[in-house]
Chain A
Amino acid sequence: MHDPQDTEILLVEDNADDAELTLRALKKHNLANKVHHVKDGAEALEFLFGTGTYASRGGGFVPKVVLLDLKLPKVDGMEVLRRIKGDERTRDIPVVILTSSREDRDIIEGYKLGVNSYVQKPVQFDRFVEAVAQLGLYWMVLNQARRHEEHATT
């Protein structure tokens, strides 16, 4: 595992297989070494807000993008999303929902809470790789650019 400080992508995924597939997909685009993987919503929140396991660090981590599964143990994905978008410290982090679900209600709920993208995990691996990589990259790059902008203006 890499240093959480360098985390560019926070992957929130309870399914180990899906996590591996996602990591492999990211690896294909050379993004895997900057991914921090947590297995439930509670841990994701601890990571982001610097509490619980991550309390020693004295502050949360700010990844460039969060890849968030919806069906999670303990705290589900929607709640995580709500907390991220409901807090000033994390509000600006782009969140991409990665889910098997094609249910409209999830999509609508997600967009209502301010999700930045929504990706359905395809069954076909190659398409999955493509989708993950594209969205992950898109938001990472966009976020990067925005941060630079912010630095430039301040």
Chain B
Amino acid sequence: MTQEFARTLAEISADCGRQVGVLVARSGRVEYVMVGDALVFENPNDAKELLSSFRNDPHLLAACVYDRNGHLFAAYPDDAAADSFPKLPAASGVRFVGPNVTFFQPVLDKGRLLGTVYLKSDLREMSQQLRLFALVAGFVVLGSIGVALALSLVLQRRIAQPILSLADTARMIAEKRDYSLRAASMSDDELGLLTDSFNEMLNEIERRDSLLRESEAGLRAILESALDAIITMDHQGRIIEFNPAAEKAFGYARSQAVGADAVELTLPHAFRQKHRQEMSARATTERTVQFGRRDEMAAMRSDGSEFPVELAATRIPRDGPPRFAWFVRDITERKRAEREIRQLNEELELRVVERTSQLEAANKELEGFSYSVSHDLRAPLRAIGGFSQILIDERGATLDDEGRRILKVIRDNTVRMGNLIDDLLAFSRMGRTAMRVKRLDMTHLARTVAGELTAASNLPNVDVTVGDLPAAHGDLSTLRQVWVNLISNAVKYSGTRNPATIEISGRTEAEEHIYSVKDNGVGFDMRYAGKLFGVFQRLHAASEFEGTGVGLALVQRIVHRHGGRIWAEAKPDEGATFHFALPNENAHPPGAVRTTSPKEEMTHA
């Protein structure tokens, strides 16, 4: 402060000197030429005259002009002693001499020195000025201090406060972890901006925090609501998390379980060693996240009881030692169900075996029955037929006509019964014998059968036409039987017509080939169509048309065994059409022809 003040004072005095100089210079300039002229013309009076003009300046104590040789040329005031002036002019400039200030100014004319002007002024004015300066400086200093104080107050209010408030908010947030707090914004300058940014940051933190919380809550909810027991543990197997399902499954409270050794707590002795080894192996290797598959094993409850579980162990990699998670599912119920299913299966199998043997027995019985029928029923019939024939042959002459007629009735009926037995046996055999399925040229088959039958029927007026029939997949001998029965039926029931026309045709539908036999015979009433295919069901009296009532039943059985279907349409006296359909190669498996295994074939063959 003092230094500065001294510097200020020096500047001020220098300034004063300059002002003196300037003053002189100004006067000089006004009268410069005149002084110069006075010097050139060596006219000291003129110079004196000029100097006397300083009279009005009370501070100017003395002034003089030196010639170019440094001799006093003119002086002011007039009465001043010659020795009150310096003997020789000094170098130009301002000098402080005691309380006064002196000033030398050379007078030059185009670089040529003409003389020197000397001025001596007291410093009273300057002192006054200095005092004023000092006063002003004092005020300035005081004012500055005041302003500084005011500024600091203002600044404290406007800068420090918001920053402190920011700091406070930050501290509170750190303490309470409450990211909903906000710093108050006080202005809209840079500090306001800073506060806003801080708040913005808080917003972001709060948003992330809530997201984090949400995600954690979600994860926790999963953990809490999972039906599987979930146990997480550190790399040494100490339990970290133990969810409610685990509490329920193992019988420990979470608080009891956390920190305990998972293997020790939940696994029976038999599994502990193996699992520890597994875990320590997995603790160091980064090879895989998954331990492996779900293992079925036993787990142990808090009461020591064991129960079957499915345990999946996973490794949770993280910075530092990994953690492990177990997902444990209580499979007691499933095991029980499996056991039940197994038991049921076994029972079912037993039952199947039992039923199969029953069926086999029944089948055997049936076979035995039909064998007996075939063998034993025919023997007496043969005797009746044979001996009545012999009677006719050998004793016929001794009988009258009526006797011979009666014998003929007996013989005819034995033949009829023989046929019945044969048909019935064929029908029962159809269900038991194996079919050899192969591709069959149905056109050729139908033609052959029709040819044989018309030739045998001795009916010249029967006209059979066979169209192009689609090839079939089936068993030759049984399908041949179908054609035989259907065509012979048609021949039989249209035999009274002249001509009797029989049309055999075929077509292919989406999943089946359809074959039809149409005649112009006596037909039948569709009301009785349902009885057509029943065994021993007949729509005509035996006296009208011969037949055993087995033929169509046999046909239906054969068609069904081929996975096909059969139906008829007719009108009385307008003929009948029989259709049968066999599945073709586009048919779905259920409709497919049932083939028999070689074994079955052997048994029935």
Contacts and interface: CB of A to CB of B under 8 A. Distances in A.
A54 interface: no
Nearest to B370: A103
A102 B370 CA distance: 10
Interface stretch (B201-209, B377-385, B484-492, B527-535): B377-385
A21 interface: yes
B414 A123 contact: yes
A21 B386 CA distance: 7
Nearest to A106: B371
Contacts of A6: none
Interface string A103-132: 111001000000000000111111010000
Interface in B406-434: 414-415, 417-418, 422, 425, 429, 433
Contact of B605 (A99, A104, A128): A104
A24 interface: yes
B481 interface: no
Q: Say whether chain B's binding surface is mostly helix, strand, loop, or mixed.
A: helix
A122 B381 CA distance: 10
B155 to A, nearest CB: 124
Contacts of A126: 389
Given A17-B386, A123-B414, A125-B390, A103 B371 contact: yes
A71 B371 CA distance: 10
Interface string B520-548: 00000000000000000000000000000
Interface in B343-381: 370-371, 374-376, 378-381
B387 interface: yes
Given A102-B425, A103-B371, A105-B605, A15 B379 contact: yes
B259 to A, nearest CB: 81
A153 B378 CA distance: 46
A124 B387 CA distance: 10
B426 to A, nearest CB: 8
B379 A18 contact: yes
Contacts of A17: 379-380, 382-383, 386-387
A94 B604 CA distance: 27
Interface range, B side: 20 to 34
Contact of B374 (A102, A108, A122): A102
A83 B355 CA distance: 38
Contact of A100 (B378, B385, B415, B433): B378
Interface in A23-59: 24
From A71, A100, A121, A126, name the one whose CB has the most chain B CB atoms within 10 angstroms.
A100
Nearest to A22: B386
Contacts of A5: none
B475 to A, nearest CB: 14
Contact of B375 (A100, A108, A122, A124): A100
Contact of A121 (B376, B378, B389, B429): B378
Nearest to B394: A24
Contacts of B429: 104
A18 B382 contact: yes
A101 interface: yes
A64 B304 CA distance: 91
A101 B390 contact: no
A99 B386 contact: no
Contacts of B389: 124-126
Nearest to A14: B379
Contacts of B374: 100-103
Contacts of B418: 122-124
B422 A102 contact: yes
B144 to A, nearest CB: 139
A101 B383 contact: no
Interface string A87-105: 0000000000001111111
A121 to B, nearest CB: 6
Contacts of A122: 382, 418
Contacts of A15: 379, 383
B382 A100 contact: yes
A17 B384 CA distance: 9
Nearest to B374: A101
B395 to A, nearest CB: 13
A100 B422 CA distance: 11
B327 to A, nearest CB: 63
A18 B376 CA distance: 11
Interface string B446-470: 0000000000000000000000000
Interface in B591-605: 604-605
A104 B385 CA distance: 25
B519 to A, nearest CB: 30
A78 to B, nearest CB: 13
Contacts of B604: 105
A23 to B, nearest CB: 11
B231 to A, nearest CB: 70
Interface of B: 370-371, 374-376, 378-383, 385-387, 389-390, 414-415, 417-418, 422, 425, 429, 433, 604-605
